[in-house]
Structure 1
């Protein structure tokens, strides 16, 4: 079973470290980082796309519910579990696509219930992905519906709430779907996020400058220089 890359976000340091210690009972849940600054955490979440986030609601920089809306937009596969003393937020959180809700003080039984639910959900999704890896995607644009072979896509580029698909022949298709959601239509093992703005088809990655933080994507003589803002050590792992 793969490790589930997990973040804890809570403006109270003691609360975050307590939750991490409780997580040690579950080897599959690997707490990679604990954040007390939610805005800083949001940038990292968008870049690294963690599998799971345990998130407080009442935070000074940005509320947990506002944070969840950004995760839904930029990292829609991430499962968000709220951990809070404010029970009255539970319904709103679940209505906005939160995965689950745990009330403070945290009980081991309740944490175990949520962790087992996460594991079961991720296994089910992994099995479905293995069976249903797409060979082409349906793209809705202003002109109509395009059926695009995934092997013909060099990279995806965010354009506000829209997404440009840049194809091997140099053509661009503009979709009204945002980058985070359109990423779900592509095989994740081949299409890798390198920044908040770009996701590349790693089969067309020809050069990476780790000092100046850019890469080159090319095919048929056409070359594109794209900024890299993901941590290089994490990107190296994604590109292996």
Structure 2
């Protein structure tokens, strides 16, 4: 799945900056524009056709609810997440088919849950279909091409502009970005736990609390302990646990 194109709409620059900073922690999101007014928001949406709009409600002239009403009339209507300091608009917000309703100051865990909801809404149906058993991941290494069974990959790490693919038997290097590998493996049980790690959930054996809400993860067949960013912990546990 391509990055989720996102626009932030809020008349307060500080709130826009804070939300942009938090959203940039999620590699699947790409903030492509910001607007301080409802009118500018509509213009941006018509020009760039975002996938989702994070939308404040209390704004001068045209408020967020009015903006949402106009967005629903567009040919390509974006998903809407209301991000506001006022809880009393929630009922009206969901009448506009909002995906979520976030309150300021923003909670990182709640924002991570919102991102998971957006992914579910936007993931094409074909991405959930079973990949044919014969499909292999092609990796060029030392002038040769290796064809790897994705189910043999324990995890993939990224450092120094190189992606390192760790398997049961040996490791490979690839110049492909981690997000490109994540896209190719999206129908297999891989999950991003950190900006630098993509893991095969089939091999996860243990999660250990670390600090600041982060965890350390252990995999069968690997002695390495991998860092799980706190932004991904809840979604990871939801994927893993019955």
Partner of 1:63: none
When residues 56 and 129 of structure 1 are mapped into structure 2, their CA distance, relative to the original with a 3 A threshold, is: closer
Q: Which runs of 4+ in 1 moved over 6 A?
A: none
Change (3 A) 1:129 1:83: farther
- Output one character per residue of 1:116-175: Cα deviation in whole Å (capped at 9) or x when no partner: 9x99x957x323541535642112334221100112111010124331101112x21111
Instruction: Give the Cα separation in 1 of the matches to 2:78 and 2:21.
Output: 25
Question: What CA distance in whole angstroms lies between the structure 2 residues aligned with 1:153 and 1:108?
Answer: 43
Question: Which residue of structure 1 aligns with residue 43 of structure 2?
Answer: 85
Q: Quickly say closer, same or farther: Cα 1:9–1:160, change in 2 above 3 A.
A: farther
SS at match of 1:110: coil
| Distance change (3 Å), C-alpha of 1:36 and 1:83 | farther
**Is 1:10 aligned to 2:8, yes or no?**
yes
Structure 1 spans left out of the alignment, 5+ residues: 1-5, 15-33, 61-81
CA, structure 1 residues 83+162, in 2 after alignment: closer, same or farther (shift >3 Å)? farther
Q: Which residue matches 1:126?
A: 125
Task: Pick the structure with greater CA Rg.
Answer: 2
Aligned to 1:217: 219
Q: Tell me, which stretches of 5 or more residues in structure 2 are unaligned?
A: 54-61, 80-117
In structure 1, the partner of 2:195 is: 196
TM-score (norm 2): 0.57
Shift of 1:227: 0.9
Report the secondary structure of 1:234's partner residue. Answer: helix
Is 1:233 the equivalent of 2:237?
no
Q: Map 1:141-220 to 2 at 5 A.
A: 141-169=141-169, 171-188=170-187, 190-212=189-211, 213-219=215-221
RMSD: 4.2
1:9-42 CA-partner distances (Å, limit 9, x unpaired): 525168xxxxxxxxxxxxxxxxxxx985312210
TM-score, normalising length: structure 1: 0.57
Residue number in structure 2 paired with 1:139: 139
